[in-house]
Amino acid sequence: MSTGNTYDVVIIGSGLGGLCSAVILSKEGLKVCVLEKNRQLGGSLQIFSRDKVIFDTGIHYIGGLDEGQNLNRYFKYLGLMDKLRLKKLDEDGFDKISFYNDEQIYSHAQGYDNFIRVLAEKFPGEEKNIKRYCEKILEICSFFPLYNLEDGQKDLFTANFLEMDTKAFLKTVTSNEKLQNVLAGSNPLYAGEADKTPLYVHALVVNTYIESSYRCIDGGAQIAKHLSDTIKKQGGEIYNYSEARHFHFSGDQIKAVQLSDGRLIEGKKFISNCDLAKTLDMIGPGHIRQAYRSRISNLENSISAFILYIVLKKGSVPYFNHNLYHYDTDDVWDTLNYTEQNWPRGFALFSQYSSRNPDNADSMIMMGYMNYKDLEQWSETVHIIPNMENFRGAGYEEFKERKAQQMFDALYKRMPELKGKVESYYTSTPLTYRDYIGSRDGTLYGIAKDYRDPLKTFISPKTKVPNLFLTGQNLNLHGVLGVTVSSVVTCSELLGQQYLIKKIKDNS
Ligand SMILES: Cc1cc2nc3c(=O)[nH]c(=O)nc-3n(C[C@H](O)[C@H](O)[C@H](O)COP(=O)(O)OP(=O)(O)OC[C@H]3O[C@@H](n4cnc5c(N)ncnc54)[C@H](O)[C@@H]3O)c2cc1C
């Protein structure tokens, strides 16, 4: 059943990458259509509410939003900057890092001079090394032109840092092991792995937050709302409950995508914002070489997480304007290696900022790494409210409750003052993320980059099908900035990079 429309561009998935691409292309007069399998748009920008409290699912804070900074300029072009409701995190400590055996709390401050000053207070004698670290971060970022809203390409592929491991690099910065760990303390922002995560991933992520750090007031879904309003205003169409299943071809080109309810959506070009392997499944056999399919399908994803969503008793906990990364080990890189007994070996704790109750924390979100394989026995179950409400079983509920209690034990050990202040709590697992986002394994950030073979994990927006393109966190980099840049990379394939960058610069 065809809808009778032929779109210039059909975008599959309404994650940040899909929505930004749709804004850019519809602004240029192209007729776009966004297809989203869920009710709520936004992918990881989605929020949910329990006991009248809003929880973010995948955006806890955003960097680079001060005037003149990279994301600020991209967001101005996308029409977001004057609409977003934001709360700047503490200048002298947007991230706080702590360890089980150390009473000190180490702060990451905003602004490079401030970052150096605040850390040097805790590590007297290390100021020079911290400065050298910052210089390297800035040098690496300068190699990525689009990250800095510049056209052109530096000779990235010969850059020596591409094949540098983050943990190994930090050892060259200082012999002070605590400082090495503090510098890597926000490691859950990029699911960093020892002897794997390239230094450029660490650099691009930490730089954006050191530049400036903001929380979305009442959650990050506002980004999806404003982007989708703009798409519609520019003549684009967005359909939720529209799950893409497979492509129909005419010769070597895709002519339509078939949805799970049988509808056929025709287009001249297609952009997939979905899991890479699942995108290839939609192509079906015969249209791409097996070698390409195997290369993409065999790329490893970054780890997933178990998340505890805590509703606090009204007025019992003051709002805290920073994020906490706490470690139950001396080595922040070791938190991925856990056993049933010692899990979680570290956690990230975020407070939500609510406009209704700005002085108090209504809620907190606590995140600990978890492997998909821990949930394998329930992998055949699917649960997406409200269209697929399958009960995963009592065993799954018991597992979640056990993990929630382990989380609370870790939380109370670090912050005993929170005892008695929890009203209620909810949890999500890697299966929740798998089902809502449509990845294979609930991955936090998509394809895990690897310094040992950097080119293998660089995903091009072009595919072996001439009119199929990719966007989203699997390209370049994850996160709000990374994905926004990815959508520019993707749209550059359709509009021309020089042309698009000029437009963005002129409008930011
Ligand atoms: C727990 C967590 C915390 C995070 N915290 C932060 C943070 O604090 N700051 C930050 O900058 N970033 C953070 N991130 C990362 C950031 O949220 C993501 O990198 C980004 O939102 C991903 O955008 P995307 O375009 O790749 O789309 P995704 O969010 O991956 O969305 C893909 C969309 O495609 C849809 N889809 C999938 N298959 C189909 C299909 N067959 N048909 C139709 N639709 C389909 C999905 O339903 C989904 O809506 C976090 C991520 C997670 C998971």
Last residue of a domain, which of 194, 213, 232? Answer: 213
**What is the DSSP track for 418-484?**
GTT-EEEEEEE-HHHHHHHH--SS--SSSBPP-TTSGGGG---SB-SSTTEEE-STTSS--HHHHHH
pLDDT at 481 over 60: yes
- CB of 210 shorter than 6 A to ligand 1: no
Average pLDDT, the chain: 95
234, 338: one domain: no
134, 243: one domain: no
Residue 407 lies in a domain: yes
Mean pLDDT check: name the lowest of 150-164, 393-407, 476-490: 150-164
Closest residue CA from atom 1 of ligand 1: 58
Q: Which two tokens stand for residue 34?
A: 């966004």
CA-nearest of 336, 59, 102 to 209 is 59
What are the helix (H) ranges across 174-238?
A: 177-183, 199-211, 221-233
Query: Which H helix or E strand runs over 447?
Result: none
pLDDT band at 385 (very low <50, low <70, confident <90, very high): confident
pLDDT at 154 over 90: no
Residue 480 lies in a domain: yes
Average pLDDT (158-179) is 93
pLDDT band at 155 (very low <50, low <70, confident <90, very high): low
What integer pLDDT is reported at residue 4 of this predicted model? 67
Residue 105 lies in a domain: no
What integer pLDDT is reported at residue 422 of this predicted model? 98
How far is 403 from 397, CA to CA, in rounded Å? 10
307, 261: one domain: no
- Residue matched to tokens 């805790």: 122
Q: Which two tokens stand for residue 136?
A: 């390297």
- CB of 60 shorter than 6 A to ligand 1: yes
How far is 390 from 407, CA to CA, in rounded Å? 26
pLDDT at 302 over 90: yes
How far is 72 from 508, CA to CA, in rounded Å? 8
Residue 98 lies in a domain: no
pLDDT at 1 over 60: no
Residue 309 lies in a domain: yes
Average pLDDT (177-184) is 98
312, 417: one domain: yes
Last residue of a domain, which of 175, 196, 213? Answer: 213
What integer pLDDT is reported at residue 396 of this predicted model? 95
**Which is it for the CA torsion 327, 331, 333, 338, positive or negative?**
negative
What integer pLDDT is reported at residue 286 of this predicted model? 87
Cβ atoms of 472 and 480 closer than 8 Å: no
355, 418: one domain: yes
368, 494: one domain: no
- CB of 267 shorter than 6 A to ligand 1: no
Q: Which of 10, 44, 65, 384 has the most ligand 1 atoms within 8 A of CB, as the residue to mutate?
A: 44
Cβ atoms of 263 and 237 closer than 8 Å: no
250, 193: one domain: no
Cβ atoms of 77 and 503 closer than 8 Å: yes
Last residue of a domain, which of 213, 233, 264? Answer: 213
Q: Which two tokens stand for residue 422?
A: 């929890």
Read off the pLDDT of residues 3-35 as tens digits, 9 standing for 90 and up: 667 999 999 999 999 999 999 999 999 999 999
- How far away, in angstroms, is 296 Cα from ligand 1 center? 19
295, 307: one domain: no
pLDDT at 161 over 60: yes
Cβ atoms of 422 and 303 closer than 8 Å: no
pLDDT band at 79 (very low <50, low <70, confident <90, very high): very high
Q: Which SS3 state, helix, strand or coil, does residue 327 take?
A: strand
Give the CATH number, domain containing residue 235: 3.50.50.60
Closest residue CA from atom 47 of ligand 1: 437
Average pLDDT (342-363) is 95
- Residue matched to tokens 């399908």: 297
What integer pLDDT is reported at residue 3 of this predicted model? 62
CA-nearest of 467, 448, 468 to 458 is 448
CA-nearest of 289, 139, 291 to 207 is 139
What integer pLDDT is reported at residue 297 of this predicted model? 85
Q: Which SS3 state, helix, strand or coil, does residue 308 take?
A: strand
- CB of 259 shorter than 6 A to ligand 1: no
> Which amino acid is residue 79, in one-letter code?
G
How far is 10 from 263, CA to CA, in rounded Å? 13
What integer pLDDT is reported at residue 468 of this predicted model? 98
What integer pLDDT is reported at residue 68 of this predicted model? 95
Read off the pLDDT of residues 119-143 as tens digits, 9 standing for 90 and up: 999 999 999 999 999 999 999 999 9
Residue 235 lies in a domain: yes
Residue 100 lies in a domain: no
What integer pLDDT is reported at residue 162 of this predicted model? 85
Q: Give me the domain span that covers residue 257.
A: 2-78+218-299+449-506
204, 234: one domain: no
- CB of 478 shorter than 6 A to ligand 1: yes
Read off the pLDDT of residues 492-503 as tens digits, 9 standing for 90 and up: 999 999 999 999
- CB of 303 shorter than 6 A to ligand 1: no
Read off the pLDDT of residues 86-102 as tens digits, 9 standing for 90 and up: 999 999 999 999 999 99
346, 457: one domain: no
- How far away, in angstroms, is 242 Cα from ligand 1 center? 17
Query: Which H helix or E strand runs over 348?
Result: strand 346-351
What integer pLDDT is reported at residue 2 of this predicted model? 58
- Residue matched to tokens 């503490």: 90
How far is 164 from 268, CA to CA, in rounded Å? 41
Residue 348 lies in a domain: yes
Report how many domains make up the chain.
Answer: 3
Average pLDDT (199-225) is 97
What integer pLDDT is reported at residue 391 of this predicted model? 80
Neighbour-count burial for 391-425, b at 16+ CB within 10 Å, e otherwise? ebeeebeebbeebbebbbebbeebbeebeebbeeb
- CB of 35 shorter than 6 A to ligand 1: yes
How far is 346 from 368, CA to CA, in rounded Å? 6
- CB of 490 shorter than 6 A to ligand 1: no
366, 412: one domain: yes
189, 128: one domain: yes
